[in-house]
Chain A
Amino acid sequence: MSQSVAPVLEARQISKRFPGVVALDGVSIALLPGEVHALVGENGAGKSTLIKVFTGVHRPDGGELIYNGSPVAFGTPLDAQRAGISTIYQEVNLVPMMSVARNLMLGREPRGRLGVIDTARMYGEAERILAGYGVVTDVRRPLRTLGMGVQQMVALARAVAIDARVVIMDEPTSSLEPREVETLFSVIRKLRDDGIAVVYVSHRLDELYEVCDRVTVLRDGRVAHTGPLAELERLKLIALMLGRDLDEVRTGGLTRFSRDRRHARERDGAAPAVRAEGLTRRQVLRGVDVAVWPGEVVGLGGLLGAGRSETAKGIVGALPLDAGRVLVGGLPLRTGSTTAAIRAGVSLLPEDRKAEGIIPALSVRENIALAALPSLSRAGVVSDAKIDKVVEVFMRRLRIKAASPHQPVQELSGGNQQKVLLARWLAIRPKILLLDEPTRGIDVGAKAEVQALVDELAEEGLGVLLISSDLEELVEGADRILVLREGAVVGELSGDDVTEDKIMASIAERGAESDG
């Protein structure tokens, strides 16, 4: 990795403006063959914009791109792809209604006689490719019937399968479990050994240190630092991202605040806020029992497809159940009805925000206030002042970076869109809050703030069910953890047993029996 190697792809003094913001301001970055280059920065720092400039989605307002030693300007993502730049964009960009195989092979389907697509071969190849990523599924099923993690693996397989010289990954692991992340890393290492330049964007710092060679830190559209990653201490990296002093970060509580786990306190005698009994759904859930007491944060651990999201969906009635019941405050809830759940005070922040949550064309303010409207209005009349207040508080506390509360959400960076949705759910103040991947795509600074907010809500007596593929977040956020495997609870950890190692062990231990 000597610096004398000529870069494959280079940006020189790139600028890009959007109405009201300068997203990139004279950014220069060089990608060397055979390196994994981390691109980091807070939400809205300009990472995705830089990537989209590289791949012809956005035209830069200034500066130039050099590819293989000569200036280029890609007109469309297709041009960039043809030239050998393969990209996984931040939002999983596949076609939900098309089958897994057709998504994977779109644009390079195997041809048979007469140039017609050879479907048998296409399905076979798709199965083979995905098996290489540890994904075993019926490739004829529509993509949307699979979980976000599997979809992300399909997007990954698709990008890597294209013969590329540069592979760009914008938060490829946001929906992945540790095991899938390992698979991804081995893929990345192989790419690197093949002399391909890899750009890796992630808000999970551990991952960066594990797989990246160099790092470029973006802050407010400018390069704040670039250099070898190993030499850069973790706190220093955070300080660079946030633009604060190292000392300030060290003492400023941004690092882990340790919380006292509530040892099932006040539990005796009290009824759980929500209790799910024997949730069953063919091939997905096999009799899951979950209970959350008021003031408690319960984490759900497990691998992809273990049934965590499905458990949450089952509780709020978004997944039809074959058997089982849900009790809220001791009273049975009509199953299969999300309206009944919401009325009873149970809300779910869904995993697939794009399909089930965000309303892109509405403003930040409207998106936040949407679900909380009933509680912010009296006799059907909405109080503008109250809404303004709520929106202001969340925008400040979650550090939502927007030109104004009236900016359409679709113009926000990926992480800031996530924050808006999170704010919407936190603003409802239900009795029970189910959070499925609440901090996906959210930067380190805001993550701590999200934890603090959830904690505050729990203090006020809210019951929280937390699902996260980030073990660190589970361990820090939850009082108690239930480990799921293949649709059943296989372990419970509480008190001092709540550690990453113990969770991993619990997942693996049971796994050894059924999974070779």
Chain B
Amino acid sequence: MTGSPGREQVSRVLQQHGALMVLAALVVVGSVAFDSFATAGNAASVLVSSSFTAIIAIGMTFVIISGGIDLSVGSLFVFGGVLAAYGSQYGLFVALVLPLAACGLVGLLQGLLIARTGMAPFIVTLAGLLGVRGLMLAISNEGATTYLVKDSAFARLGQGGVFGLTWPVYITALLAVAAMVLLQRTAFGQNVYAVGGNEPGAALMGVPVARTKVYVYLMSGLLAGLAGVLNAARLSSGVTILGIGLELDVIAAVVIGGTLLTGGAGGITGTIAGVLLLGVIQSLINQVGNLTSAFQQVVSGLFLALVVVAQRLLGRAQRLG
């Protein structure tokens, strides 16, 4: 009827899998250029260091598709880590449940505020970012106290593993698959797309808009907390100075992965590709050697700008198509 499926499909595929293609290209280039790039060790280190960002990015993908944003995840990541390390003196169970409960609660509160009062997600989660960071500074005496992980079972969660990869990588993979199913194959996932795509319309179609939003922020809070927990287990301590600006890296990865910042479209595969892309860029820059990590941020920034421009162009092509 209208539009030409060919062109439209090309732009849709590019939108959804662009990050994956660039990732593949970079891996090929890296393998050719650097002997030490395409080694199992390097691959493992990229995967391990990306897994924490990836877990947070999964939650962020839901938030952004629903048309929102969650700036509090960086703070919650640190908060979760500190609480986990603190809780580990009471055993594995407390080390897991305490941070998840606390971070989930923050996510829930943010969700309720956004969904029930109609406050802007940006403002609510910015308040969350500041508030949680303050809380974290308070329990760590302005960062002076570092809680060390006391429980060895808990530490193993972050450091142990099989086949050269640590548990967090496997946990991330499991979460990613679960999130894909949740997003594509459940009513909740469909509601997330509907709310982000046309909120007033979704309400008229009978979508429980408020509930969907609450769940989305709850989930994002929980996942940020979980990433913090795993990171604490990996480092055997709850470091307080990490995670500043992490929310921006996560948002960048999600957007690079093809999820529209305006909501309504996107997916988990793209997000994972986006996270790995940033990880690989970092690794490549390390290979070059004499470049500082500041350079990595410049490259990531350029990438982000490129992706956003490409999205606009593709979006226009699809509309016109």
Closest Cβ of chain B: how far from A44's Cβ, in Å? 20
Closest Cβ of chain B: how far from A348's Cβ, in Å? 13
For the side of the interface on B, what is the size category?
Answer: 35 or more
A145 interface neighbour in B2, B187, B194, Cβ under 8 Å: B2
B265 at the interface (CB under 8 A from A): yes
Complex contact A117–B321 (CB within 8 A): no
Residue ranges of A at the interface with B (Cβ–Cβ < 8 Å): 57, 76-78, 81-82, 87, 89, 93-98, 102, 106-107, 109, 115-117, 119, 137-138, 141-142, 144-147, 150, 158, 281-284, 304-305, 309-310, 318-320
Known A-B contacts A78-B206, A284-B3; the reply to A93 vs B187 at CB < 8 A is no
Interface hit among B4-12, B17-25, B166-174: B4-12
Chain A residue numbers with a CB within 8 Å of B206 are 77-78, 81-82, 107
10 A-B pairs besides A98-B193, A102-B193, A141-B8 with CB distance below 8 A are A81-B206, A93-B198, A97-B197, A106-B194, A115-B186, A116-B181, A138-B5, A142-B12, A284-B1, A284-B2
Complex contact A109–B197 (CB within 8 A): no
Q: How far is the CA of A231 from the CA of B314 in the complex (A)?
A: 56
* 14 pairs from A and B in contact (CB 8 Å cutoff): A77-B203, A93-B198, A93-B201, A93-B204, A94-B205, A97-B264, A98-B264, A102-B193, A109-B187, A115-B186, A141-B5, A146-B1, A319-B320, A320-B320
Closest to A149 in B: B1
Closest Cβ of chain A: how far from B182's Cβ, in Å? 9
B301 at the interface (CB under 8 A from A): no
B187 interface neighbour in A107, A138, A282, A310, Cβ under 8 Å: A107
Q: Which of B203-258 contact A (CB under 8 A)?
A: 203-208
Complex contact B4–A94 (CB within 8 A): no
Known A-B contacts A94-B198, A107-B187, A116-B185; the reply to A145 vs B318 at CB < 8 A is yes
Q: How far is the CA of A91 from the CA of B193 in the complex (A)?
A: 19
Q: Which of B12-65 contact A (CB under 8 A)?
A: 12
Q: How far is the CA of A281 from the CA of B1 in the complex (A)?
A: 11
Q: Which of B55-78 contact A (CB under 8 A)?
A: none
Closest to B266 in A: A97
B131 at the interface (CB under 8 A from A): no
B190 at the interface (CB under 8 A from A): yes
Complex contact B264–A283 (CB within 8 A): no
Q: How far is the CA of A149 from the CA of B176 in the complex (A)?
A: 38
Q: Is the interface of A mostly helix, strand, loop or mixed?
A: loop
Closest Cβ of chain A: how far from B194's Cβ, in Å? 5
Chain B residue numbers with a CB within 8 Å of A78 are 206-208
A89 interface neighbour in B12, B204, B265, B319, Cβ under 8 Å: B204
Closest Cβ of chain B: how far from A358's Cβ, in Å? 14
Q: How far is the CA of A59 from the CA of B238 in the complex (A)?
A: 51
B202 at the interface (CB under 8 A from A): yes
B200 at the interface (CB under 8 A from A): yes
Closest to B181 in A: A116
Closest to A338 in B: B320
Closest Cβ of chain B: how far from A145's Cβ, in Å? 5
A107 interface neighbour in B3, B207, B264, B265, Cβ under 8 Å: B207
User: What 6 A-B pairs are tightest by C-beta distance, nearest first?
Assistant: A95-B197, A93-B201, A78-B206, A305-B1, A116-B185, A117-B185
Complex contact B185–A95 (CB within 8 A): no
Q: How far is the CA of A119 from the CA of B190 in the complex (A)?
A: 12
B197 interface neighbour in A96, A147, A309, Cβ under 8 Å: A96
Complex contact B197–A98 (CB within 8 A): yes
Complex contact B204–A95 (CB within 8 A): no
Closest Cβ of chain A: how far from B209's Cβ, in Å? 9
Q: How far is the CA of A42 from the CA of B200 in the complex (A)?
A: 25
Complex contact A145–B321 (CB within 8 A): yes
Chain B residue numbers with a CB within 8 Å of A102 are 190, 193
Q: How far is the CA of A77 from the CA of B320 in the complex (A)?
A: 33
Q: How far is the CA of A283 from the CA of B7 in the complex (A)?
A: 12
Chain A residue numbers with a CB within 8 Å of B264 are 95, 97-98
User: A81, A95, A116, A309 — which one has the most chain B CB atoms within 10 A of its CB?
Assistant: A95
Complex contact A147–B1 (CB within 8 A): yes
User: B2, B6, B205, B208 — which one has the most chain A CB atoms within 10 A of its CB?
Assistant: B2
Complex contact A150–B187 (CB within 8 A): no
B198 interface neighbour in A96, A116, A147, A309, Cβ under 8 Å: A96
Closest Cβ of chain A: how far from B186's Cβ, in Å? 6
A117 interface neighbour in B3, B187, B205, Cβ under 8 Å: B187
Known A-B contacts A117-B186, A137-B1; the reply to A97 vs B204 at CB < 8 A is no
Closest Cβ of chain A: how far from B15's Cβ, in Å? 11
Closest Cβ of chain A: how far from B57's Cβ, in Å? 21
Known A-B contacts A94-B198, A109-B190, A320-B320; the reply to A283 vs B204 at CB < 8 A is no
Closest Cβ of chain A: how far from B156's Cβ, in Å? 31
Chain B residue numbers with a CB within 8 Å of A158 are 205
Closest Cβ of chain B: how far from A339's Cβ, in Å? 13
A106 interface neighbour in B1, B190, B321, Cβ under 8 Å: B190
Complex contact B202–A95 (CB within 8 A): yes
Complex contact A87–B204 (CB within 8 A): yes
Complex contact A94–B321 (CB within 8 A): no
Closest to B201 in A: A93
Q: How far is the CA of A57 from the CA of B321 in the complex (A)?
A: 35
Chain B residue numbers with a CB within 8 Å of A77 are 203-206
Q: How far is the CA of A284 from the CA of B5 in the complex (A)?
A: 11
Closest to B262 in A: A97
Chain B residue numbers with a CB within 8 Å of A107 are 187, 190, 205-207
Closest to B193 in A: A98
Chain B residue numbers with a CB within 8 Å of A117 are 184-187, 190
Closest Cβ of chain B: how far from A115's Cβ, in Å? 8
Closest to A143 in B: B197
B320 interface neighbour in A95, A282, A318, Cβ under 8 Å: A318
Chain A residue numbers with a CB within 8 Å of B190 are 98, 102, 106-107, 109, 117
Chain A residue numbers with a CB within 8 Å of B202 are 95
Complex contact B205–A106 (CB within 8 A): yes
Complex contact A147–B193 (CB within 8 A): no
Q: How far is the CA of A316 from the CA of B184 in the complex (A)?
A: 38
Q: How far is the CA of A339 from the CA of B146 in the complex (A)?
A: 61
Q: How far is the CA of A237 from the CA of B193 in the complex (A)?
A: 44
Closest to A94 in B: B201
User: A98, A137, A150, A158 — which one has the most chain B CB atoms within 10 A of its CB?
Assistant: A98
Complex contact B5–A95 (CB within 8 A): no
Known A-B contacts A102-B193, A106-B194; the reply to A95 vs B4 at CB < 8 A is no
